[in-house]
Amino acid sequence: MLDKVLKVGMLFDFYGALLTEKQQRCLEMHYSHDLSLSEIAEEFGVSRQAVHDILKRSEQILIEYETKLKLVERYQREQLNIKQAFELVNNLSADIRNIPEIQSVLTKLADLIVESEEV
């Protein structure tokens, strides 16, 4: 279940703006605020089944966007490459690591890693 929440959350971060406002709110209420289908249905004045359908359709739309655009896949690949580059440079001898340009590269890579973890 946690894997699904993380996957939908990541897809929503990338493609959520492409959904309707109602789809966005339903996904946020269910996944971010952990509201039940009944609670969301009450908020929207619709049936629990309608909320279920909105959630399933929204999730499917997000998956279709990722299948076509592959932005999440690319992002994850880039993050892995950044971490690997950091490790390679960081594992250089101390003499080389202390060169100002190398220190600058390490700092920039570390900043990119921190930024990605905040997303």
Contact 32, 12 (CB under 8 A): no
Stated pTM of the model: 0.81
The residue type of 32 is S
- 8's CB contacts (< 8 A; 6+ apart) are 27, 31, 59, 62
Which of 91, 83, 88, 75 lies closest to 109 in space, CA to CA? 83
Q: CATH number, domain at 58? A: 1.10.10.10
Q: What's the chain's length in residues?
A: 119
65 shares a domain with 9: yes
Q: Could you list the residue range(s) of the whole structural domain that residue 34 is in? A: 2-69
Domains in the chain, number: 2
Segment 60-112, tens digit of pLDDT: 999 999 999 999 999 999 999 999 999 999 999 988 988 999 999 999 999 99
9 shares a domain with 26: yes
